[in-house]
Amino acid sequence: MITGKPYPIKGLIAYGTNLFHTLPNVPRTKEALKNLDFYLAVDTMPQDHIAWADVVLPEATYLERYDELWTCGHKTPYIAMREPAVEPYADTKPGWWIARELGIRLGLEAFFPWKTAEEYLNTRLASIGLNLDKLREQGGVVIQKGKPWLSDFEAEKTSPFATESGKVELFAASLEKSKNKPLPEYEPTPEPPAGFFRLLYGRSPVHTFSRTTNTPILHELFPENEVWVNADQAAAMGLKNGDRVMLENQDKVRSGPIRVKATQRIRKDCVFIVHGFGHNAPGMTRAHKRGASDADLQTRYVLDPISGGAGLRVNFVRLVKEA
């Protein structure tokens, strides 16, 4: 989106993805969005990225809509359904409805032969002799007796592993051929500079990503994140539980204010915050400006040269006391 290579991207549809909390390096995300001709955002909540959209399609929440069947293979295979418990709020629409109506308007009606989610789901379920009513009667889930995953593959004389040996490879000869290390080697990451801590992030079991922080009961239970600081370290810095600080990273990006949680549950050279807070969108009425955002502070990241996985715990922050 920024370089235009290998080909220019001019339009983007984001479905249920809060770009400014999902991705690190928020300034770069904004730079990329500025290069678009058209940005369509589909979301259940008025999150930060909504303000950047040319068109916003508000979606019904998961309790107000049918979704695709949830199917899981492997050891204990099951099929589960999701159905609306209540009518959608205001003029919000289920994702399947939005997709179908967009398809029709784009002249792709032939790809959407089913008029309703029930019709679509019943068609899928017919292949196993079920329908929504029967599935609902048995609690909304079909669970089959599991068998060890490999037995199916062994019977067919195939392997689930796409490796040369057909086995789990700790030492991968294919990587050696592409001039990568065939056996992963630990490479130390830079240590935090003096006065800085490595910024760790994770989840609270109360919240799901950044999308539930505005939900009344969950907000009441967990209204904002705290910055975990080793208790001995906090005492040495003159910080106590509940003190409000700003977090400032190595590139002078700030987020907060956030309250200090002095705890023995973290090592001295790191601090930790729960992901999903520090919303800047005024529409997130309860979560607005509560706590700090890890994504805002992750202006740097490293990519694994083989898998492409992003390492985000390479950012350092210092704690700046509020004046």
Partner 1 sequence: MARYAMSIDLNRCIGCQACVVACKAENEVPLGNFRLRMRETVVGKFPNLQGEFRLEQCFHCENAPCVPVCPTGATYKTKDGIVLVDPAKCIGCKACVTACPYKMRFVHPAGHIDKCTFCDHRVAEGMEPACVETCPSEARAFGDLDKADSPVRLAMAKAQCTDVLKPETGAHPKLFYLNSRFTNGDTENQPVVVISEQVKKGE
Binding site for partner 1 (CB under 8 A): 205-206, 216-218, 220-224, 230, 232, 242, 259, 263-268, 290
**C-beta of 4 vs 242, nearer to partner 1:** 242
**C-beta of 145 vs 265, nearer to partner 1:** 265
Q: How far is the CB of 318 from partner 1 (least distance, A)?
A: 20
Q: How far is the CB of 47 from partner 1 (least distance, A)?
A: 21
In the chain, how long is the greatest CA-to-CA distance? 69
Locate 201 and state its tokens.
């992030």
Q: How far is the CB of 264 from partner 1 (least distance, A)?
A: 5
Q: How far is the CB of 300 from partner 1 (least distance, A)?
A: 26
Q: What is the DSSP string of 265-305?
A: TS-TTEEEEETT--B--TTSTTTBT-S--HHHH----EE-T
Q: How far is the CB of 232 from partner 1 (least distance, A)?
A: 8
**C-beta of 191 vs 232, nearer to partner 1:** 232
Cα–Cα nearest to 121, from 140, 102, 108, 138: 140
Beta carbons within 10 angstroms of residue 32's beta carbon: 17
CA distances 23 to 20, 26, 51, 56, 206, Å, are 6, 7, 17, 20, 21
**C-beta of 216 vs 238, nearer to partner 1:** 216
| Cα–Cα distance for residue pair 142/10, rounded to 1 Å | 43
Q: How far is the CB of 286 from partner 1 (least distance, A)?
A: 11
**C-beta of 127 vs 264, nearer to partner 1:** 264
- Residues near 230 by beta carbon (within 8 Å), at least 6 away in sequence: 262, 263, 264, 266, 267, 268
**C-beta of 99 vs 200, nearer to partner 1:** 200
Locate 136 and state its tokens.
């609902």
> Helices 117-126 and 95-105: crossing angle, nearest 10°?
100
Q: Helix or strand or coil: residue 143?
A: strand
Phi–psi pair at 154, nearest 5 degrees: -60, -40
Q: How far is the CB of 178 from partner 1 (least distance, A)?
A: 39
| Cα–Cα distance for residue pair 153/161, rounded to 1 Å | 10
**C-beta of 63 vs 72, nearer to partner 1:** 63
| Cα–Cα distance for residue pair 311/104, rounded to 1 Å | 41
| Cα–Cα distance for residue pair 28/14, rounded to 1 Å | 17
Q: Helix or strand or coil: residue 228?
A: strand
Q: How far is the CB of 21 from partner 1 (least distance, A)?
A: 20
**C-beta of 224 vs 296, nearer to partner 1:** 224
Q: Check if the beta carbon of residue 221 is closer than 8 Å to that of residue 287.
A: no
